[in-house]
Copies of this chain bind each other. A is one copy, B any other.
């Protein structure tokens, strides 16, 4: 049944419906509505402090039930994007009030986005390697070593190998003893991994695995030797090279100018 004829767009513009179709035809309805509203906010058409259209208006204007609209708004509320006050309405919150970081997947589909993310990753993981060198426990070291073994072990470069690669990086982040650093590093690595999977992945890597493994060995050696700056430099170098292998080129102002990198 459908009285879902929405002649009059009450609160929302028409281009949204086109967007809703374009974004993801197969995503659940509430998520699509949430994307529409969130785009209205990030695009500036809805500024902080503004009140959203009422749930009734949104529902009628999109030809959907108020229930769906409420689920969509629940998602925005969880991100601190809007605050709903009973009886008053839903209001866009200040950017400083956001309590979640969510990366737009479309930003990662082009090279520039990946470059930015790789740079951030190099910063974070470089520092993580430095801290880990000073704070690691023996258990941490064992975990890191085991991951390295898995990398060059049985599976060789296949699916399991790239998983072991991630375990290696995560283990180092965990060895800093700082759960926030661990959380952020894991998040960024996963974002990158998924983007690579989506895009090209597994094109011509083949023999480069040995190079890749070699870079990890340098990191681990520096960690064992207890040389924080060397560990940091090795990690930055590795991530820079890993990016270059898939076409991401970082601006090489990267600090390694000072010293340390020649170490081994």
A interface list, Cβ under 8 A from B: 28, 30-31, 34, 67, 70-72, 74-75, 77-79, 84, 95-103, 105, 116-117, 119-120, 123-124, 127, 130-131, 134-135, 166, 178-181, 183-184, 186-187, 190-191, 193-194, 228-229, 253, 255, 258
Contacts and interface: CB of A to CB of B under 8 A. Distances in A.
B101 A187 contact: yes
Contacts of A98: 187, 190
Contacts of A75: 74-75, 77-78
Contacts of A255: 130, 228-229
A231 B77 CA distance: 38
B180 A117 contact: yes
Say how many copies of this protein the assembly contains.
2
Contacts of A116: 178-181
B190 A96 contact: yes
Closest 5 CB pairs of A and B: A75-B78, A71-B74, A101-B101, A100-B102, A123-B127
A100 B79 contact: yes
A31 B120 contact: no
A123 B181 contact: yes
Nearest to A187: B101
17 contacts: A28-B77, A30-B74, A31-B77, A31-B78, A67-B67, A67-B70, A71-B74, A74-B74, A96-B194, A97-B194, A99-B103, A100-B101, A101-B187, A120-B184, A124-B124, A131-B253, A229-B255
Contacts of A187: 98, 101
Contacts of A194: 96-97
Contacts of A191: 99
Nearest to A123: B127
Given A78-B34, A103-B99, A186-B95, A84 B28 contact: yes
A162 to B, nearest CB: 12
A28 B127 CA distance: 39
Contacts of A117: 180
A181 B119 contact: yes
Contacts of A70: 67, 71
